Structure 1
Amino acid sequence: MTRCDWAGPEDIYIAYHDTEWGVPEHDSRALWEKLILDGFQAGLSWITILKKREAFREAFEGFDPDVIATWGEADVQRLLADPGIVRHRGKIEAAITNARAWQRIEAEQGFATMMWDYVGGAPLQNRFASMDEVPPKTALSERVSKDLKKAGFKFCGPTIVYAWMEACGLVNDHLTGCPRHADCAALAQPFVPRDRRSGARTA
């Protein structure tokens, strides 16, 4: 068995494939961070973002949406001057807008709850044998994209959303010949919402 075709040749890419990509993510903030980074990837390769991820995390205060939601033009200018990240005004401004949209969803129902509801609370298990079979987007990612835009999100087209769903394990798109397909399938536990006031899990 071999890894998915895209994993490599650089060690950072192999490690990302072997330890992160496709692992079900249930944390609202972490889901938001990954969606923002996928938005920054638009027009670029993921390896570019992966290499800059720690610089992004430092520049964006650990991707705390409650902090980023308070930012204004001075922060946009600061980020535009930071060579460690992708300096794109539209994407930076979208991250701030998306933080505010995240806050609204998190307060109303929980961002993680909303996202996992799209897949019935458990990862969709695809069985693609080759990269040629893997779609760039799906009817579901188009629906999620449309709903996110309606909620105020930007840089969340259906292709970006599908890549994010794959990365966060809402969809298991490791190829069947890749050992991580079975590994991620074994991690597919039903999502249980967290009570956002107490931190306790609800039934």
Structure 2
Amino acid sequence: MNRCSWATHSELEKDYHDTEWGVPNYDDRHLFEMLILEGAQAGLSWLTVLKKRDSYREAFDQFDPEKIVRYDDTKRQELLSNPGIIRNRLKVDAAIQNAKACLKVTKTHGSFSDYIWSFVDGEPIVNAFESLDDVPAETERSKAMSKQLKKDGFKFVGPTICYAFMQAVGMVNDHEVSCFRYDEV
């Protein structure tokens, strides 16, 4: 069974690749979770984040933005001392700020999903890359998305993070064409 070359190093990566990565997702909470996790990954490997994902879900109230916006200094310090997550002050603060921004755009766009998917006109972009070397780190759309997210108050949403997010939630299909998931998603 052929998989994307990045997803062959661990069982955790294989499972994530085979079941979730690149599958179009429109669930507000899942999209918010992935935006936070992609930001947490900055400078680290995705495997590091996957290993901590369950701890993140517990620490951040299942990524419920309504709860996260109410985090006070005590909760923030609790997060910064939690070994189950990446204890980077800027990333923790970004998650809290992003919850506020998420709720704000949800009010104006009807849902976080509608807001996020508007960057690809509501439809996944299907690419046809032969290998991982062909996949860009960012695109014009991820640059535009990054610029707008920053304008709307989001943090840790540079063009590369936005493109990784777009790949993760199926806004783009970047499975290698030889991968068994390419045609499935």
Matches within 5 A, 1:92-103: 92-103=92-103
Report how far residue 121 of structure 1 moved: 1.2
In structure 2, what is the equivalent of residue 54 of structure 1?
A: 54
Matches within 5 A, 1:22-33: 22-33=22-33
Matches within 5 A, 1:116-155: 116-155=117-156
Report how far residue 107 of structure 1 moved: 1.1
**Structure 2 gaps, min length 5:** none
- Measured in 1, the distance between the counterparts of 2:161 and 2:172 equals 14
Question: Structure 1 residues 112-121 or 37-46, which shifts more?
Answer: 112-121
In structure 1, what is the equivalent of residue 184 of structure 2?
A: 183
Report how far residue 95 of structure 1 moved: 0.4
- Measured in 2, the distance between the counterparts of 1:174 and 1:28 equals 23
- Measured in 1, the distance between the counterparts of 2:163 and 2:128 equals 16
- Measured in 2, the distance between the counterparts of 1:32 and 1:182 equals 26
Q: Which amino acid aligns with 2:59?
A: A
Report how far residue 87 of structure 1 moved: 0.4
Q: Deviations over 1:94-132 (max 9, x none)?
A: 100000000001111121111112212110000001111
In terms of Rg, which structure is larger? Answer: 1
- Larger helix fraction of residues: 2
SS in 1 for 2:5: coil
**Structure 1 gaps, min length 5:** 185-203
Report how far residue 32 of structure 1 moved: 0.8
Question: Structure 1 residues 105-114 or 53-62, which shifts more?
Answer: 105-114
Report how far residue 5 of structure 1 moved: 0.4
In structure 2, what is the equivalent of residue 3 of structure 1?
A: 3
Report how far residue 28 of structure 1 moved: 1.3
In structure 2, what is the equivalent of residue 91 of structure 1?
A: 91
- Measured in 2, the distance between the counterparts of 1:108 and 1:74 equals 31
TM-score of the superposed pair, with normalisation by structure 1: 0.89
Q: Deviations over 1:122-168 (max 9, x none)?
A: 10000001111100000100000000000000000000000000000
- Measured in 2, the distance between the counterparts of 1:144 and 1:94 equals 17
Q: CA RMSD in A?
A: 0.8
Number of matched residues? 184
In the alignment, structure 1 residue 111 sits paired with structure 2 residue 112: yes
Q: Which amino acid aligns with 1:142?
A: K
Q: Which amino acid aligns with 1:156?
A: V
- Measured in 2, the distance between the counterparts of 1:95 and 1:116 equals 20
Report how far residue 182 of structure 1 moved: 0.3
Report how far residue 61 of structure 1 moved: 0.7
Report how far residue 8 of structure 1 moved: 2.1
- Measured in 2, the distance between the counterparts of 1:35 and 1:133 equals 24
In the alignment, structure 1 residue 21 sits paired with structure 2 residue 1: no
Q: Which amino acid aligns with 1:56?
A: Y
